[in-house]
Structure 1
Amino acid sequence: MKIGVVVDNEFDHDHRVQKEIRMLQQEGHSISVLCFDFKKTYKTYPNLNVKRIRIPKKVRDLLVLLNTNFNFYELLWQKHIAQFIKENNLDALHVHDLYLSKAANKSIQQSTRAIPLTLDLHENYPAAINSYEWAIKGWRKYVVQPKKWYQKEGEYLGYADNLIVLSDSFKDDLIKRFPFLKSENIFVHPNMPDFESYQDFEKTDYSVDFESDLPTLFYFGVVAKRRGVLDILPWIIELMEEGTKFHTLIIGPTDKADKAQFQSFINHPILKDYITYTPWSDVNYLPAYLKKITIGLAPFQVNAQHDSGVANKLFQYMYGEIPILATKCKAQQQLIEDSECGLLYDTKTEFKSAVKQLIESESLRKQLGVNGKQKLLELYQDKADRQFLKIYQ
């Protein structure tokens, strides 16, 4: 089949989308991609047709800001998707994220090609936008009006023929809230890493300059209040004040709204000599970092957004045989309990107790790590990340 993939980012660093495309190509499908060009230089893909919409990033961000109440963003996408369908003579359309479904549906009608639409949900978007600081603070909340997306969700889901979601729990939640959705048209695709790529990374000498003689707590991903990082840093300081010795390594960009608070923690007189922060590192280096750390952190705030799926970092920790310390978000709690690969916490007291337990018991860490890797291998063996391919068979 000729499948068109639409994503409202630059595509080059969207590992979930790239993995899906590789899997579709392995099935023999021909893939074309429509994405943004923020006036940068991008690499070429010899086996992939990538069409980019050239637009200043600030203009795109403004259109997103207005997207709840004005259709400028949808009209932009509708125009380009319709053209994309015709130019590539597509047999199917695969768009990413809830807010693109209406534009995609109208584009199909405009193109006069009766092709199926698959909507790939990377998150519970209404819950997500209601947790973003840029959308809920100051004057922006009156423009964005994020709560309206709870009302729009059903309509936008209804435009798609098939849905892809992150977890069984999110699938069950959608069917419960929207009875018109059919189970057989919803496919679970967890955020599992590309196993073959990780093995290739390990064969290459990707060295990292991080070293510590102390046990190391590790967080890999966006640093933001909603991700729980700012919740646990005061607890980490308390643990150090109480005499527990360890290092903290954090890698990932910081949300603009949270930079000042995060920086104040980094500069804390007790923490500053026992924390390493790197704003960005290519995922190629992740296996090398995993060999140098002790505990993988997944401190996400418990809410409907984080309940919808398991973040890819948990699977990355499992790949590296690293014990996980995580909050009780529904999907990640189920994964950790089923695989016995980590410890869960609700409160500061439980967090501090779990950190001490993991630091003090090497045998516990090893067993949890082994359990996690075994569960991950079972998921690959069961082809848990290949179910969505049935859409195109």
Structure 2
Amino acid sequence: MKIGVVVDNEFDHDHRVQKEIRLLQKEGHTIFVLCFDFKKDYRSYTDIKVSRIKIHRKIRDLFVLLSTNFGFYETLWKKHISKFITDNNLDTVHAHDLYLAKAARTGIQKSNRDITLTLDLHENYPAAINSYQWAIKGWRKHVVQPEKWYQKEGEYLSYADNLVVLSNSFKQDLMDRFPFLKSKSIYVHPNMPDFESFKTFEKNEFSVDFNSEGLTLFYFGVVAQRRGIIDILPWIIELLEEGNLFHTLIIGPVDKADKNEFNSYINHSVLKDHLTYIPWADVKYLPAYLKKIAIGLAPFQVNAQHDSGVANKLFQYMYGKIPILATKCKAQQELIENSECGLLYDSKEEFKSCLKQLIESPSLRQTLGENGKKKLLELYQNNADKEFLKIYAKEKTKN
């Protein structure tokens, strides 16, 4: 089949989308991608036709800011999606994220082609936008009005013929809230890393070293209040002041709204000598980092957004046989309990107690880490990350 993938970013560094495309290509499908061009140099692809919408990033950001109440963003996408379908004679469209659903459906209608739409939900978008500092603080909250997305959610889901979601719990939540959704049209695709890519990454060594005394805690991903990493820094300071010996490594960009608070912690008189912060590292170096650390952190704030799926960092920790210390977000709690690959907490006292257990017991860390790798391999063997391929196997038999 000719599958058109629509994603509102630059595509090149979207690991979930890239992995899905590789899986689809292995099934014999031909892939076309529609994404943005922010006037940068991008890699070329020999096996994918990539069409890029040239736009200044600030213009795009303005359209996003206004998108709740004004149709500029949807009109832009509708126009380009329709042309994308026609130019490439597409058999189906696979659009990413809730807010592209209406534009994708109307783009299909404008193209005058009777083709299906699969909507790939990377997150619980209404809950997510209501947690973003840029959307809920100051004058922006009056323009963005993020709470309106709770009312728009059902309408936008109805535009899709098939949904791809992050977890079984999110699938059930959607069906409970929107009875028109049917189980047979919702497919679970967890954020598991591309196993073959990770095996090739094993040979890479990281270029930035970090000094650590004792064992090392690790957080990999966006640094933001909503991700919980800032919440636990004062608790880490307390543990250090109590004489516990460990280092913390944090890799990832910091949300603009949280930079000042984060910087105040990493420059703290106690923490600064026991923490290394690296703003960015290519995922190809991640297996090398995993070999150097002892405990993986997943401190996400418990809310509907984080309940919707398991962040890819948990699967990455499991790949590296790293025990996980995490909050009790629904999907990640289910994974950790079923795998017996980590410890869970929902208070400062529980966090400190769990971390001390992990620091003091190498055997516990080893057991939890080995359990995690075993479970991850089972998930791959059971094709847990390939269920969405059934969408196109089904489509192929109809054509």
Query: What TM-score bracket applies, with the shorter chain setting the length?
Result: over 0.9
2:312 paired residue number = 312
Distance 2:359 2:241 in 1: 16
1:293 paired residue number = 293
Indicate the larger mover: 339-348 or 238-247.
238-247
Deviation at 1:206, TM superposition (A): 4.8
DSSP 3-state at the match of 1:272: coil
Distance 2:350 2:282 in 1: 32
1:27 paired residue number = 27
Consecutive unaligned residues of structure 1, counting only runs of 5 or more, are: none
Pairing of 1:176-215 with structure 2 (within 5 A): 176-206=176-206, 208-215=208-215
Q: Are positions 1:281 and 2:288 aligned together?
A: no
Distance 1:131 1:207 in 2: 34
Q: Are positions 1:230 and 2:205 aligned together?
A: no
2:152 paired residue number = 152
Flag as ranges the 4+ runs of structure 1 deviating above 2 A: 203-208
Contact 2:323 2:341 in 1 (8 A): yes
Contact 2:212 2:274 in 1 (8 A): no
DSSP 3-state at the match of 2:146: coil
Distance 2:204 2:372 in 1: 24
Pairing of 1:321-340 with structure 2 (within 5 A): 321-340=321-340
1:263 paired residue number = 263
Q: Deviations over 1:206-244 (max 9, x none)?
A: 554234232111000000000001100000001111111
DSSP 3-state at the match of 1:33: strand
DSSP 3-state at the match of 2:79: helix
2:79 paired residue number = 79
Distance 1:54 1:211 in 2: 43
Contact 2:298 2:326 in 1 (8 A): yes
Distance 1:54 1:185, change over 3 A: same
Distance 2:210 2:156 in 1: 45
Contact 2:167 2:308 in 1 (8 A): yes
Q: Are positions 1:172 and 2:177 aligned together?
A: no
Distance 1:352 1:79 in 2: 53
User: CA-atom RMSD, angstroms?
Assistant: 0.7
* Number of residue pairs matched by the alignment: 393
TM-score of the superposition, structure 1-length normalised?
0.99
Contact 1:340 1:371 in 2 (8 A): yes
TM-score of the superposition, structure 2-length normalised?
0.98
Distance 1:91 1:226 in 2: 39
Contact 2:205 2:285 in 1 (8 A): no
DSSP 3-state at the match of 2:273: helix
Distance 1:166 1:372 in 2: 19
Q: Are positions 1:115 and 2:139 aligned together?
A: no
Contact 2:319 2:373 in 1 (8 A): yes
DSSP 3-state at the match of 2:217: strand
Distance 2:293 2:204 in 1: 19
Contact 1:211 1:292 in 2 (8 A): no
